[in-house]
Amino acid sequence: MTTADPLFSLAGKTALVTGGTSGIGAMIATGLAKRGVRTYVTGRDLSRTSEVARQLAQDSDGEVIALAADFADASSPSALAAKLSIRENALHILVNNAGTNCDGDLADLTEEAWDEVMAVNLRAPIFLVKMLTPMLKSASQPGDPARVVNVGSIGGLHVPNWEAHPYGASKAALHQITRSLAKSLGKDNITVNAIAPGPFPSKMHDTTSEATRSSIATYIPAGRAGEAEDAQGVVIFLASRAGAYVNGHVIPLDGGYIGAL
């Protein structure tokens, strides 16, 4: 499916969505594939990622291709870039979505848990941008830059009522990296923005139980958790001609939560 409005058209583009096998990543990958984007998704296990990619392709009637990547491994960004460069000459859209969490009391925090969160949520995105910059440059056109969309979190915009020190720190840093990369890569006709989601259904956040839905309704002005179309819509906007002049911003995707604080 492609949109008839060229302002929001993504037809013919190529995208990479890290962590695209579940949660917001799978939502975004499906939305892109529906609009004619050849979409690569990553997961740690290739066989499972391939199975999910086939399902996403069926759901979207688009092209979804699986690649393996474990971003806890420092060599993963360069290895992933090498795999992609064998298949593609240019990359129009990079969505840095892969992430992990570690919550609990400060007394229980370990150095290993801290390092893993920082590796996946912070180190991997910036080094993947570095490794893929040549492919992003190749995709950029006058008036239609290549796009990087980093998936941050409202946990990087405020301190929640539970302890998640590494996660919040990593996402706040990712927001700042978004701004600094936007300034650095703008001259190469590459825009860099971030979205900061609130509660969405994912492995890290159960939004389906009645207790959770009731709780969300008390602090999210929209009265609900995010849905697939919410995540897809903002990324489609940022990746299309409609968002070509948006650069260096962190967009809360939270039903009004941060704005109402």
pLDDT digits (tens, 9 = 90+) for 34-82: 999 999 999 999 999 999 999 999 999 899 999 999 999 999 999 999 9
Counting Cβ atoms within 10 Å, is residue 116 exposed (0-12), middle (13-18) or buried (19+)?
middle
> E strands within the chain?
14-17, 38-43, 64-68, 93-96, 146-151, 190-197, 250-253
Per-residue pLDDT at 22 exceeds 80: yes
Contact residues for 218 (Cβ-Cβ < 8 A; gap 6+): none
Name the more confident of 154 and 213: 154
Band (162; pLDDT cuts 50, 70, 90): confident
What residues are labeled active site?
A: 167
- Report if residue 241 sits inside a domain: yes
- Report if residue 178 sits inside a domain: yes
- Report if residue 6 sits inside a domain: no
In the chain, % of residues over pLDDT 70: 96
- Mean pLDDT along residues 14-40: 97
- Mean pLDDT along residues 9-21: 97
Q: What is the reported pLDDT for 204? A: 62
Q: What is the reported pLDDT for 260? A: 81
- Report if residue 9 sits inside a domain: no
Task: Return the DSSP state at 61.
Answer: T
Residue in 65, 37, 53 with CA at minimum distance from that of residue 139: 37
pTM value is: 0.94
Band (3; pLDDT cuts 50, 70, 90): low
Q: What is the reported pLDDT for 203? A: 67
Q: Burial letters for 146-162: b for 16+ Cβ neighbours within 10 Å, e otherwise? A: bbbbbbbbbbbbeeeee
Band (4; pLDDT cuts 50, 70, 90): low
* Chain CA centroid to CA 99, Å: 9
Looking up residue 217, the CATH number of its domain turns out to be 3.40.50.720
Counting Cβ atoms within 10 Å, is residue 166 exposed (0-12), middle (13-18) or buried (19+)?
buried
- Report if residue 119 sits inside a domain: yes
- Report if residue 1 sits inside a domain: no
- Report if residue 187 sits inside a domain: yes
- Report if residue 29 sits inside a domain: yes
Q: How many domains does the chain have?
A: 1
Q: What is the reported pLDDT for 188? A: 97
* Longest alpha-carbon distance in the chain: 55
Band (88; pLDDT cuts 50, 70, 90): very high
The angle at the Cα of 186, spanning 185 to 191, to the nearest 5 degrees, equals: 90
- Mean pLDDT along residues 135-146: 97
Task: Return the DSSP state at 121.
Answer: I
Q: What is the reported pLDDT for 206? A: 65
pLDDT tens digits, 119-130:
999 999 999 999
Domain that holds residue 148: 14-259
Amino acid (1-letter code) at residue 68: A
Q: What is the reported pLDDT for 240? A: 98
